[in-house]
Chains A and B, each alone.
Chain A
Amino acid sequence: MTETPIWFTPPPRSPRLPEAPPREVRERIALEIDGERVEVEQGATLLDACRAAGREIPTLCYLETLTPVNVCRICVVEVEGARVLAPACSRKAEAGMKVATESPRVATSRKLVLELLASSVDLSTAPGLAELMARYGARPERFGANAASVAQPVKVDNDLYVRDYGKCVLCYKCVEACGVDAQNTFAIAVAGRGFDAGISTEHDVPLPDSACVYCGNCIAVCPTGALMPKPEHDLRAVGRWDEARQTRTDTICAYCGVGCTVTLHVQDGAIVKATSPFENQVTRGNLCVKGRFGFEFVQLGRRR
Chain B
Amino acid sequence: MDLRFHGNRPSAEERAAIDALLGAPATGWQGGERDAARDGRHAEGGLAAAERRDLLLPCLHALQDRVGWVSRGGLEYVCRRLSVPPAEAWGVATFYHLLATEPRPPVVAHVCDDLACRLAGAERLCARLEREVGPAGAPAGEGNATWLRSPCLGACDRAPAALLFAAGEAPRSAVVAPVADEAALVDALARPAHFPPHELFTEHGSADLRRSVPQLGEPGLLLLARVGTVDPTSLEAYRASGGYRALARAVELGPERLIEEKIASKLVGRGGAAFPTGRKWQAVARARVTPRYLVCNADESEPGTFKDRILLEHDPFGIVEAMTIAGYACGCERGFVYLRGEYPLALERLGEAIAQARAAGLLGDDVLGAGFRFDIEIRRGAGAYICGEETALFNSIEGYRGEPRSKPPFPVEVGLFGKPTVVNNVETLANVPFIVANGGASYAAKGTAGSTGHKLFCVSGRVARPGLYEVPFGTTLGELLLLAGGVAGGRDLAAVLLGGAAGSFVGPEALTLPLTFEDTRAAGTTLGSGVVLVYDDLADLPDALSRIASFFRHESCGQCVPCRVGAVRQEEMLARLAAGRPEGSLAAELETYRELAQAMRDASICGLGQTASAAIESALARFPLFGAPAAGGERP
Chain A residues with CB under 8 Å of chain B are: 68-74, 76, 84-85, 87, 90-92, 105, 108-109, 111-113, 116-117, 119-120, 142-144, 146-148, 169-170, 179, 184-197, 200-203, 205, 209-211
Contact = CB atoms under 8 A, between A and B. Distances in A.
Nearest to B566: A116
B561 A72 contact: yes
Given A143-B572, A197-B558, A202-B89, 16 more contacts: A68-B406, A70-B560, A74-B561, A108-B602, A112-B599, A112-B600, A116-B565, A116-B569, A119-B565, A143-B569, A185-B2, A189-B90, A190-B91, A202-B75, A203-B90, A211-B85
A191 B4 contact: no
B408 interface: yes
Contacts, number: 172
B628 interface: no
B565 A117 contact: yes
Given A70-B406, A143-B569, A188-B87, A193 B556 contact: yes
Contacts of A148: 568, 572
Q: Is the interface of A mostly helix, strand, loop or mixed?
A: loop
B97 interface: yes
B602 A144 contact: no
Nearest to B97: A193
Interface of B: 1-4, 6, 72, 75, 85-91, 94-95, 97, 101, 384, 401, 406, 408, 553-562, 564-569, 572-573, 576, 583-584, 588, 592, 595-596, 598-605, 610
Contacts of B599: 108-109, 111-113
B558 A196 contact: yes
9 contacts: A116-B565, A169-B561, A170-B561, A191-B94, A193-B557, A197-B558, A200-B87, A211-B4, A211-B86
Nearest to B407: A91
A189 B87 CA distance: 6
B504 to A, nearest CB: 16
Q: Chain B CB within 10 Å — which of A71, A188, A196 has the most? A: A71
B482 to A, nearest CB: 35
B602 A193 contact: no
Contacts of A142: 583-584, 588, 592
B392 to A, nearest CB: 11
Given A117-B561, A143-B583, A144-B576, A193 B95 contact: yes
A186 B92 CA distance: 13
B565 A201 contact: no
A113 B602 CA distance: 11
A109 B603 contact: yes
A180 to B, nearest CB: 10
A132 to B, nearest CB: 13
B598 A108 contact: yes
B553 A71 contact: no
A187 B566 contact: no
A144 B88 contact: no
Nearest to A172: B559
Given A73-B561, A73-B603, A112-B595, A193 B87 contact: no
B171 to A, nearest CB: 24
A146 B569 CA distance: 10
Contacts of A203: 72, 90, 101
B588 A202 contact: no
A109 B2 CA distance: 42
